[in-house]
Amino acid sequence: MSKRSIAREAMLDLVERRGFQGNNATVTLLLIDADVAPAAKSIQKLTKAKTLKPNVYGKRVKATRQSFMVYRLTDHGWTLVQRISGELPEAALAQQLSKDLKTRVMWLGLSDTASWTGYYLFDATGTMVELLEDFCDHHGDASHLDANLLGKLKVESTGNGIFGSTLRKVAVTKLQSGIEVHKLIDAFFRDENILAPFTGDWRTSPGSSVTLEIADLAPEDVERLDFVTA
């Protein structure tokens, strides 16, 4: 059996799978509690992108100086936004999207190479309501974050990073291991009907042609995928 066939067999239970698939991943994502169509339109507006191509899973397109794919897995919650070319999506864009769409948006960043895990969750008003940063050399405070981004959220040192939340109480002493950090994110994703991240970062050069597909997924595994490009 080929490697692709083996991987495909592993994805046959996609509809049943939920949770944080963060091991061995290096990726930056936005997760939006909204359908693909309004999410893509909001990204186009906020980034001043010229083009939005709807329902283009499997199609070949040309990357520009800034391109995103906006998609949702079949029968899963939340829309995922991923960079194809240009700069990685920033937390400020997540905050702007939450205000524009009046819904929850999460910025999620993972680096297997740097052993870095972090997310910022904004409510429907653009207020940060939960934050986690976890890596060994963390300085233990939020002084590096823009005050407009952090708002009034209070954070505590975990020993390997910081955590703060207005949604739930979590003993920061339990977030000193990667296993506990994984459990925290996994529980949220399962409650919210999310499977993420699904694929690593794209690094496509502007001007390159790319096929908009996700490795080891069939077209029926993706509810919809839109392409937003400058």
What are the sequence ranges of the domains in the chain? Answer: 18-221+223-227
Q: Tell me if 42 sits within 8 A of 126, measured CB to CB.
A: no
Distance (Å, whole) CA 96 – CA 94: 5
Q: How far is CA 212 from CA 15, 60, 124, 136, in A?
A: 21, 6, 30, 36
- Is the pLDDT at 193 greater than 50? The verdict is yes
Contacts with 197 (C-beta within 8 Å, 6 or more apart), sequence order: 21, 22, 25, 27, 29, 80, 108, 110
Q: Name the band, by pLDDT with cuts 50, 70 and 90, for residue 3.
A: very low
Q: Does residue 63 sit in helix, strand or coil?
A: coil
pLDDT of residue 93: 98
pLDDT digits (tens, 9 = 90+) for 11-53: 556 778 899 988 778 999 999 999 999 999 999 999 999 999 9
- Is the pLDDT at 119 greater than 60? The verdict is yes
pLDDT of residue 148: 96
Q: How far is CA 158 from CA 34, 44, 121, in A?
A: 32, 37, 18
- Is the pLDDT at 192 greater than 90? The verdict is yes
Q: Does residue 2 sit in helix, strand or coil?
A: coil
pLDDT digits (tens, 9 = 90+) for 125-139: 999 999 999 998 899
- Is the pLDDT at 190 greater than 70? The verdict is yes
**Token digits for 193?**
């009907």
- 5 vs 105 pLDDT, higher one: 105
Residue type present at position 98 = S
How many of the other CB atoms lie within 10 Å of CB of 21? 17
